[in-house]
């Protein structure tokens, strides 16, 4: 009997596919025995496989809110540093969490720890809703016996990551609002306003310009078929959502993201900064370099850059210097490579990686300001052009009719 399974590997990757098993319980035990962390097991249907895969992405568990997860870790570190036992700390914190989904995660972690599991292993079972680098960070703290200090370091790293992302999002709010306003105005004018003049133009008995005819035809078509358009758009959205969550779709989209003029280079630098910061946090926690590279690579949200950085792990495992392996990827600038070389030579690799991520963050912020200084006036020009086109479509026939009357 076949079951659809969603599991996590020991390297931190999420794997989806169909597995053979006599029953759900036996298959779960077999997957756990092989070292997988089981997130979901569902029996494969006979006639609804297509619909199951089509709607699969709709009911996925949401990732824990970054702000709430940051607060949880800050409180966890404070309570552990105060000498409160781990089990009692989790019991205190699970009562303070208001988000029901996050509280369920904490309750599951509490039950696992109470049953004798390590904290890292308990969170690793929820690798689809927490940052991938988090369980590995906890594992490093458990090995060194400095769990509270490692959690504090992770909270510091996560705070920097949240701040960097919030800066990018807040900077993009204004251009996105302008785009939405332009699109909304175009739809309202084209669908409702311009078609209202259709009867008026017919009474004028003038030949309409092609622009007016095209806008009136498009508006009339949308008005007549609005429900069909919404239905087709919904189906296309579901299909695209399902495809974008497939490995091939993610890789293709992530590749073209980096090819967007102006924005692609900024996105690449942001992912490299995230990679350096994750790697530095893992190294400072006491994990070996190869294992840190594997976890930091798998924690990246861009699959294309993940693929570019995968060879680094094998080269370092074979004894090659990290700076040479990173240089071969063509993702890092010369200054970053020089800092990694100095960090390896002086034994301060973690500190140098932190410095690289800080330096790249500053570059990303400067690039973002330049891009916004170009986008904002460009959007205003585009809005003006749209308004001008709509006004021309309305007033040209009127001026023509007035000229004929004279």
393 and 245 assigned to the same domain: yes
Q: How much of the chain exceeds pLDDT 90, in percent?
A: 3
Lowest mean pLDDT among 19-23, 51-55, 399-403: 51-55
- 367 pLDDT band (50/70/90 cuts)? confident
190 and 211 assigned to the same domain: yes
- Is 10 or 342 the better-scoring residue by pLDDT? 342
What pLDDT is attached to residue 190?
A: 67
233 and 280 assigned to the same domain: yes
- 388 pLDDT band (50/70/90 cuts)? confident
Domain end residue (candidates: 115, 136, 159): 159
Mean pLDDT of 284-289: 82
| pLDDT 10s digits, 23-40 | 777 787 778 777 777 777
Mean pLDDT of 105-122: 86
| pLDDT beyond 50 at 52 | no
Kindly report the CATH number assigned to the domain that includes residue 20: 3.10.20
Provide the residue range defining the domain that includes 152. 66-159
What pLDDT is attached to residue 51?
A: 43
Mean pLDDT of the chain: 80
| pLDDT beyond 50 at 53 | no
- Is 158 or 202 the better-scoring residue by pLDDT? 158
HEC assignment per residue over the chain: CEEEEEEECCCCCEEEEEEECCCHHHHHHHHHHCCCEEEEEEECCCCCHHHHHHCHHHHCCCCCCHHHHHHHHHHHHHHHHCCCCHHHHHHHHHHHCCCHHHHHHHHHHHHHHHCCCCHHHHHHCCCCCCCCHHHHHHHHHHHHCCHHHHHHHHHHHHHHHHHHHHHHHHHHHHHHHHHHHHHHHHHHHHHHHHHHCHHHHHHHCCCCCHHHHHHHHHHHHHHHCHHHHHHHHHHHHHHHHHHHCCHHHHHHHHHHHCCCCCHHHHHHHHHHHHHHHHHHHHHHCCCCHHHHHHHHHHCCCCHHHHHHHHHHHHHHHCCCCHHHHHHCCCCCCHHHHHHHHHHHHHCCHHHHHHHHHHHHHHHHHHHHHHHHHHHHHHHHHHHHHHHHHHHHHHHHHHHHHHHHHC
Domain end residue (candidates: 140, 159, 178): 159
CA distance linking residue 49 with residue 344, whole number of Å: 51
147 and 176 assigned to the same domain: no
Mean pLDDT of 333-361: 88
Domain end residue (candidates: 18, 37, 59): 59
| pLDDT beyond 50 at 240 | yes
What pLDDT is attached to residue 205?
A: 67
What pLDDT is attached to residue 56?
A: 46
Total tally of structural domains belonging to the chain: 3
326 and 348 assigned to the same domain: yes
Mean pLDDT of 358-377: 80
118 and 258 assigned to the same domain: no
What pLDDT is attached to residue 234?
A: 92
| pLDDT beyond 90 at 232 | yes
Mean pLDDT of 89-116: 86
């Amino acid at each position: 009997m076949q079951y659809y399974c969603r599991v996590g590997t020991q390297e931190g990757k999420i794997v989806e596919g169909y597995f053979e098993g006599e029953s759900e319980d036996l298959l779960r035990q077999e997957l756990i025995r092989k070292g997988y962390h089981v997130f979901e097991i569902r029996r494969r249907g006979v006639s609804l496989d297509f619909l199951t895969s089509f709607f699969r992405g709709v009911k996925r568990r949401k990732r824990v809110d970054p702000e709430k997860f940051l607060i949880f870790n800050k409180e966890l570190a404070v309570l552990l540093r105060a000498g409160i036992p781990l089990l009692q700390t989790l019991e205190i914190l699970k009562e303070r969490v208001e988000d029901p989904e996050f509280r369920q995660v904490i309750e599951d972690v509490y039950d696992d720890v109470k049953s004798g599991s390590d904290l890292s292993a308990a969170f690793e079972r929820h690798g689809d809703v927490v940052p991938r680098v988090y369980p590995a960070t906890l594992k490093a703290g458990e090995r060194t016996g400095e769990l509270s200090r490692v959690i504090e370091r992770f909270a510091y790293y996560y705070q920097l990551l949240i701040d960097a992302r919030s800066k990018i999002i807040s900077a993009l709010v204004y251009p996105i609002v302008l785009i939405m306003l332009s699109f909304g105005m175009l739809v309202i004018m084209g669908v409702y306003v311009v078609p209202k003049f259709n009867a008026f133009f017919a009474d004028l008995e003038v030949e309409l310009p092609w622009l007016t005819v095209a806008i009136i035809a498009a508006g009339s078509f949308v008005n007549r078929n609005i429900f069909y358009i919404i239905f087709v758009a919904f189906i296309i959205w579901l299909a695209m959502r399902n495809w974008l969550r497939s490995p091939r779709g993610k890789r293709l989209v992530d590749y073209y993201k980096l090819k967007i003029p102006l924005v692609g280079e900024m996105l690449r630098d942001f992912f490299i900064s995230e990679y350096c910061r994750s790697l530095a946090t893992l190294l400072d926690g006491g994990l070996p370099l190869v294992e840190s590279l594997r976890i930091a690579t798998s924690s990246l949200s861009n699959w294309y850059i993940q693929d570019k950085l995968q060879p680094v792990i094998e080269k370092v495992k074979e004894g090659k210097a990290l700076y040479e392996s990173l240089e071969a990827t063509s993702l890092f600038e010369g200054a970053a490579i020089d800092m990694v070389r100095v960090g390896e030579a002086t034994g301060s690799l973690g500190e140098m990686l932190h410095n690289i991520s800080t330096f790249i963050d500053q570059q990303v912020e400067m690039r973002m300001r330049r891009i916004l200084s170009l986008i904002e006036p460009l959007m205003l020009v585009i809005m003006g052009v749209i308004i001008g086109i709509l006004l021309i479509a309305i007033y040209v026939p009127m001026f023509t009719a007035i000229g004929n009357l004279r």
